[in-house]
Chains A and B, each alone.
Chain A
Amino acid sequence: MGPTRIWTAVAAVAVAACAPTIKVQAPDKPIEINLNVNIRQEVIVKLEREVLETLRQNPSIF
C-alpha cells in the first residue's frame, strides 16, 4: 500500500468521524481481490524447511 492510499484511508476515517449521518456509497473503483497473494503465501510458508536446508547446503552462494 503506497503512502497516498494510506493517507486516503486516514482522510476517509477522519471525514467519517465528523459526518453526522451515515451515507452508503458505492466505491467509484471496482473492489479487487487478489487471490494470487494468498496462494503464494501458503506455498511459501509450506517451503520453509526446504528453504533453510538449501541455505545450509550452499553457504557460499546464499
Chain B
Amino acid sequence: MPPRSFLLAAIAAATLAAAGPAAAIEDPVLNAAINSGRVGEQADGYLGVVDGASPAADVRARLSQVNLQRREAYIAMAQRTGVTVDEFSRATACKLLTKNTPSGASWRDENGSWRRNTSGVTLPAYCPPA
C-alpha cells in the first residue's frame, strides 16, 4: 500500500473509532425494516413491529431472533449488576432509542405509543440526558 493511501486509511479508521457506537443496528435486514418504518426500537429495550405495518416473514423471524438474544444479554447483565432485567433493558433502551431511530423511522415510547421521528426522539423521563 503506498504511504498516502495508508495515511488516508489510518485517518478513516481513527474517525470511525472516534464516532463511538455505530449509528444503526448492524443487521441489514432489520436496518432496512427500521429505515422503512416497519420495525422500531421500544422503550422496553426490544424491537417491535410498528402499528399497522406488515413486515415480511424474514424480517419477523430476524426480529424474534434478535429479541431473544437481547433478552439473554439483559438477563446476564442484570445478574452481573444486581438490578432487575426490566431495569437493565430499559437502561439500554435509553441509548438504543436514539441510536436506532433515524429521521423518518418510528419508536415506541414508555406509554406504548408508536411515534415517528420527525424532529428527534423524546426519551422516557427516567433516561439520563443524552
Contact = CB atoms under 8 A, between A and B. Distances in A.
Interface of A: 37, 40-41, 43-45, 47-48, 50-52, 54-56, 58-62
Contact of A50 (B21, B25, B80, B126): B80
A52 B80 CA distance: 15
A62 B126 contact: no
B95 A52 contact: yes
Q: Is the interface of A mostly helix, strand, loop or mixed?
A: helix
Interface residues of B, number: 27
B69 A58 contact: yes
Given A59-B26, A61-B27, A51 B125 contact: no
Interface stretch (B5-13, B48-56, B81-89, B101-109): B81-89
B81 to A, nearest CB: 5
Contacts of B121: none
A56 to B, nearest CB: 7
Contacts of A61: 25, 27, 66, 69-70, 73
